[in-house]
Amino acid sequence: MIDPRCLAWVAAGILVSCVAVQAQDPVMGSVTAVRETEPVDVDPDDPAIWVNPADPLQSRVIGTDKDFGLVVFDLAGKTLQKLPDGRLNNVDLRTVVLGGEEVTLIAASKREDNTIVFYTMAADGSVAHAPTFAYPGAPTQVDDDIYGIGFYKDLAGSLSVIASFKTGDVVQWEIGGTPAAMELRFARQWKLPSQPEGVAADDGLGLLYVGEEDGGIWRFDANPRAGTDGTLVDKVGSACLPVDDVEGIGVVSTGPESGWLVVSAQGVNRYALYPRKPDADGRQPCIGSFGIETGATDPVGETDGLDVTSAALGPDFPAGLMVVQDDRNEGFSRNFKYVSWADVVRALGLDQTPLPTN
């Protein structure tokens, strides 16, 4: 990818030099949020975006409110539903076929009892408890809280759920059965050097990312039957992750192999971007990072959970939507912010062709 700043240099014939600079120097940018949700009651952490296939403008954002439960918002940021289910930390969702029946499943990590709790999303965007609500997060007791959560749906449509624990443990469960009688089968368990949180799978490329808060971004084979050797994509102390914590992780898919990995760099209130597909040497060098500054909303500080979709969700989000937790608003309230992905593409000079116009 070529830094657009280098285009001027093309005229002088030194493109090669610019490409080299780009590879070494991540682009730093900033964007503003398009809007924000209504405040949550306590402390938001992690969002998940449900793209309504029938009417993208009626898509939903599901967010955790850490000491309360789940909150469902529309794209205007209005609170539509509150589910007071306790200390839900992270959330993710997928639409799958289970037992011949299509269902949109939402999973959340519940810290009181280290369980994974499941919800279903109806076609009208309403959220309800799954018939069996709570499943153990780990096959044996883990000595500290369940923390991150993420789904992985492979290209054949098989679903698994991955939970991270504050101990460093990561547990993956295969999901079978039917929506009415879901079964979780233990697949594998491994451990990171220190506390992880963010979990996100790249379904198309079969990759699993887990953020080690003080360490960096780990990449694993997402196949639940695979080994547990990991690759450190980027580590705390780098240009894009200068200080801890590594928090939320999202995969932006713009094609079978194209797109980006977005990672919350909490210590600098920014989001780091990496190419979605590792290069031939397995590297994913940081492309750049951006912050969310004052615009239609206040800025975003202490960046934490996030989710991103490249699906066009109407004129405000023509190239997709990024939803992020915001730890601070005027009046000491907290909420989620909505960012147009097209703005990120422009701010960092990313190559997303064709880029819709606002």
Which residues in this chain contact another protein in the complex, by CB under 8 A? 3-5, 7-9, 11-14, 17, 27-30, 269-270, 290-291, 293-294, 298-299, 301-302, 327-328, 330-332, 347-349
In the complex with another protein, which residue's Cβ is closer, 161 or 265? 265
Burial of residue 197 (CB within 10 Å: 0-12, 13-18, 19+) is buried
Cα–Cα distance for residue pair 345/339, rounded to 1 Å? 11
In the complex with another protein, which residue's Cβ is closer, 92 or 298? 298
Q: Shortest distance, CB of residue 267 to another protein, whole angstroms?
A: 8
Q: Shortest distance, CB of residue 10 to another protein, whole angstroms?
A: 8
One-character DSSP codes across 111-147: TTTTEEEEEEE-TTS-EEEEEEEEEESSSS--SS-EE
In the complex with another protein, which residue's Cβ is closer, 178 or 194? 194
Q: Which residues, at least 6 apart from 310, have a Cβ–Cβ distance to it below 8 Å?
A: 252, 253, 254, 259, 319, 320, 341
Q: Shortest distance, CB of residue 87 to another protein, whole angstroms?
A: 11
Q: Shortest distance, CB of residue 162 to another protein, whole angstroms?
A: 24
Is the CA virtual torsion 123, 128, 130, 131 positive or negative?
Answer: negative
Q: Shortest distance, CB of residue 235 to another protein, whole angstroms?
A: 20
In the complex with another protein, which residue's Cβ is closer, 161 or 350? 350
In the complex with another protein, which residue's Cβ is closer, 13 or 282? 13
SS (H, E, C) 213-271: CCCEEEEEECCCCCCCCCEEEEECCCCCCCCCCEEEEEEEECCCCCEEEEEEEHHHCEE
Cα–Cα distance for residue pair 154/112, rounded to 1 Å? 30
In the complex with another protein, which residue's Cβ is closer, 7 or 181? 7
Contact 182, 118 (CB under 8 A): yes
In the complex with another protein, which residue's Cβ is closer, 282 or 331? 331
Identify the DSSP state of 353. S
Q: Shortest distance, CB of residue 193 to another protein, whole angstroms?
A: 18
Q: Shortest distance, CB of residue 13 to another protein, whole angstroms?
A: 6
